[in-house]
Each structure stands twice: as C-alpha cells, then as structure tokens.
Amino acid sequence: MPVEHLVILGAILFCIGLFVVLTRKNAIAVLIGVELMLNASNINLVAFSHFDPDLLQGQVFALFVITVAAAEAAVALAIVVKVYQYFQTADLDKISELKG
C-alpha cells in the first residue's frame, strides 16, 4: 500500500473529525471528533515512520499521542459528567456560563 493512500486516509479522518467538532452541539460528539483528529495524526505518523526507516520517532510520537489522548478523554469525560450534573444537559449551546 503506497504512503499516499495512508495520507489520504488520515486527511479524510481529520476532516471528518473537524466537521464533527464544528457542527455538533453535544459535548460527547465533540470529544469523539477530537479523538478522530488525533487518530488521523497517528495514522500519518506511523505511515511516514513505516516508509522511512530513519524516522522511527514517528512510532514513538504515535504512542505519546495515544497516551495524551487517553488522558484527555478521561479528564474531558469527567468534566462533561460534572457539567451535566449541574446543568442537566450536554448541549454546548445551552451551557452559557459556568456559575459556582
């Protein structure tokens, strides 16, 4: 499989994730879009690392991105749960201000 196909796949996944982030109002859907964009960058990192033996750092960076994405998802989901408990909605447009 040529590297161009993997780069195109990564670009398509990134565009889908960006579309989801920009158009969805639900906080969970926005988080899914962010995860899609992070996975698209991982595909590109691993693809470039696979096709150029001197760039083995791409796989290390991909593992780092996976670790950061897992931590981001855990923190973001905890915030969404707390916001839902307070406002009784996960709709980002209805959450106008954070009151203490």
The string of pLDDT tens digits covering residues 36-89 is 999 999 998 888 888 777 767 778 888 888 899 999 999 999 988 988 888 888
HSE at residue 53, side-chain half, CA atoms within 13 A, is 0
Q: What's the CA gap between 89 and 99, in Å, rounded?
A: 15
pLDDT value of residue 100: 54
Whether residue 98 is contained in a domain is answered as no
pLDDT value of residue 49: 83
Structurally, the chain folds into a number of domains equal to 1
Whether residue 70 is contained in a domain is answered as yes
Report residue 42 as tokens.
């991982």
pLDDT value of residue 62: 83
Per the structure, the complete domain to which residue 68 belongs is given by 3-87
Whether residue 96 is contained in a domain is answered as no
Q: What's the CA gap between 75 and 81, in Å, rounded?
A: 10
Q: Which pTM was predicted? A: 0.81
CATH label of the domain that carries residue 15:
1.10.287.3510
Query: What do you get for the CA distance between the two ends of the chain, in Å?
Result: 54
